[in-house]
């Protein structure tokens, strides 16, 4: 077995599923705020697009995806960010964001070189670390501070670290805090990339879940050596469809396209049809934002009533809440489980996060109201 992989703990989702099974076995009603898997149905027009695309005869789909899907994603980037991307050379469909993040270091980082660091901010989506280990790269999680709004800044790393960096992964809106990255920091990261030559990746899976001003995209600020990643999981209620896309530097997209052929990574044509419908429509995304905003309001009101202190960001699918005095993330999560409330301990997202829990806006509005009534004051 790869010795690097022995350093990894079990994946957070697996640990949450185990905890959920334990609560159900005790006969309690579970209010599942642990996994970012919203309960709202996938819009009917998306489901119908998938059904209509199932062929009589099955054929292999292509890694680059069909032209309708690439055209739809290019149109989305133009509408959403005012960014022009050539659908032939600048876009590559993926099997969701997790798959894309996992394979980027495998293809783009040479672990035998001095320049092999994969830099990201912590707390973080664990796949940033996991993918680095699988690729033989060296993960470099930089501890982000709530006092600095969970912002990852180039100057925090220092020039020596940046010289040894092969890839920087930005994640804004940030999982788990919900913080957005301001334009000046996108500009600073593009300038640092131009100076040091690393690949700059922006995981923008939550860019359409916002409650005030819409988040920016990296592609508004740079293209050379830059890739942005998008997902339909939360935007369109398509977590089980596993579909998204990468966009950016045509040279990098071409490299990824070449080597993804060897991995057999291509979405079924019916999934592509559903994704094409989803990227072509904004109304359903706006409706989902309205629902998430109501869930967020209910839980923030609950926090105010109970004296809890959430980090008050204005985007993403989560609330990042400080645990009460005298508690750790694990002890508080266990006490909530006694009331059927499942949350993610902050330490799931990196060392030094024991003061927080992550609460996903996944249950329905009605379930959020029910959970708020039984959430204990500790």
Q: Are 49 and 184 found together in one domain?
A: yes
Closest residue by Cα to residue 176 from 352, 328, 319, 33: 319
Last residue of one domain, picked from the residues 217, 245, 280: 280
Q: What is the CATH number of the domain that holds 229?
A: 3.40.640.10
What residue numbers bound the domain in which 289 lies? Answer: 3-42+284-374
For residue 12, pLDDT beyond 70: no
Is 220 within 8 Å of 81 (Cβ atoms)? yes
Average pLDDT, the chain: 94
Last residue of one domain, picked from the residues 280, 308, 334: 280
Q: Are 122 and 230 found together in one domain?
A: yes
Q: Are 138 and 247 found together in one domain?
A: yes
Q: Are 222 and 298 found together in one domain?
A: no
Give percent of the chain with pLDDT exceeding 90.
88
Q: Are 235 and 319 found together in one domain?
A: no
Residue with tokens 């996991």: 130
Q: Lowest-confidence range among 8-17, 140-149, 175-184, 282-291? A: 8-17
pLDDT given at position 263 = 84
Residues whose CB is less than 8 angstroms from the CB of residue 323 and which lie 6 or more positions away in sequence, other chains included: 329, 331, 332, 346, 354, 355, 356, 357
Last residue of one domain, picked from the residues 257, 280, 303: 280
Q: Are 70 and 199 found together in one domain?
A: yes
Q: Are 238 and 356 found together in one domain?
A: no
Q: Are 62 and 181 found together in one domain?
A: yes
For residue 372, pLDDT beyond 90: yes
Q: Are 162 and 250 found together in one domain?
A: yes
Question: Which pTM value belongs to this model?
Answer: 0.94
Mean pLDDT of 67-88: 98
pLDDT given at position 26 = 79
Q: What is the CATH number of the domain that holds 18?
A: 3.90.1150.10
Residue 11: band (very low, low, confident or very high) from pLDDT cuts 50, 70, 90: low
pLDDT given at position 203 = 98
Q: Are 59 and 187 found together in one domain?
A: yes
pLDDT given at position 378 = 83
Mean pLDDT of 309-326: 97
In angstroms, what CA-CA distances link 44 with 92, 169, 207, 290? 26, 34, 23, 18
Domain count, the chain: 2
10 Å Cβ neighbour count for 12? 18
Q: Are 247 and 265 found together in one domain?
A: yes
Highest mean pLDDT among 20-29, 71-80, 254-263: 71-80
Mean pLDDT of 209-234: 98
Q: Are 194 and 253 found together in one domain?
A: yes
Q: What is the pLDDT of residues 113-163, one digit of tens each?
A: 999 999 999 999 999 999 999 999 999 999 999 999 999 999 999 999 999
pLDDT given at position 10 = 67
């Amino acid at each position: 077995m790869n010795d690097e992989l022995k350093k990894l703990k079990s994946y957070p989702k697996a640990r949450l599923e185990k905890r959920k099974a334990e609560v159900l076995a005790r006969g309690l009603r579970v209010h599942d705020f642990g996994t970012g898997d919203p309960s709202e149905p996938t819009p009917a027009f998306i489901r119908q697009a998938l059904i209509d695309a199932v062929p009589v005869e099955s054929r292999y789909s292509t890694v680059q995806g069909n032209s309708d899907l690439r055209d739809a994603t290019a149109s989305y980037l133009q509408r959403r960010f005012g960014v022009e991307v050539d659908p032939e050379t600048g876009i590559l469909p993926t099997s969701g964001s997790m798959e894309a993040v996992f394979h980027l270091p495998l293809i783009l980082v040479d672990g035998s070189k001095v320049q092999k660091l994969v830099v990201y901010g912590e707390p973080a989506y664990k796949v940033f670390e996991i993918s680095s280990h699988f690729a033989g790269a060296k993960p470099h999680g930089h501890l982000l501070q709530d006092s600095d709004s969970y912002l990852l800044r180039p100057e925090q790393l220092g020039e020596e670290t940046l010289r040894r960096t092969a890839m920087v992964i930005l994640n804004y809106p940030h999982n788990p805090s919900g913080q957005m990255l301001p334009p000046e920091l996108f500009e600073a990261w593009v300038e640092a990339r131009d100076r040091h030559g690393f690949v700059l990746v922006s995981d923008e899976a939550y860019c359409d879940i916002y409650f005030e001003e819409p988040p920016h995209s990296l592609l508004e600020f740079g293209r050379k050596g830059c890739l942005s990643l998008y997902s339909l999981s939360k935007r369109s209620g398509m977590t089980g469809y596993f579909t998204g896309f990468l966009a950016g530097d045509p040279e990098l997209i071409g490299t990824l396209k070449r080597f993804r052929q060897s991995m057999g990574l291509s979405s079924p044509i019916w999934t592509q049809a559903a994704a094409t419908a989803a990227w072509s429509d904004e109304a359903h995304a706006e409706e989902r934002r309205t629902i998430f905003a109501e869930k967020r309001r209910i839980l923030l009101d609950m926090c105010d009533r109970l004296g809890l202190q959430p980090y008050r960001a204005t985007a993403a699918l989560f609330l990042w809440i400080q645990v009460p005095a005298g508690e750790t993330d694990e002890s508080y999560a266990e006490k909530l489980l006694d009331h059927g409330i499942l949350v993610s301990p902050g330490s799931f997202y990196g060392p030094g996060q024991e003061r927080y829990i992550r609460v996903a806006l996944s249950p329905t509005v009605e379930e959020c109201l029910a959970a708020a009534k039984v959430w204990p004051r500790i």
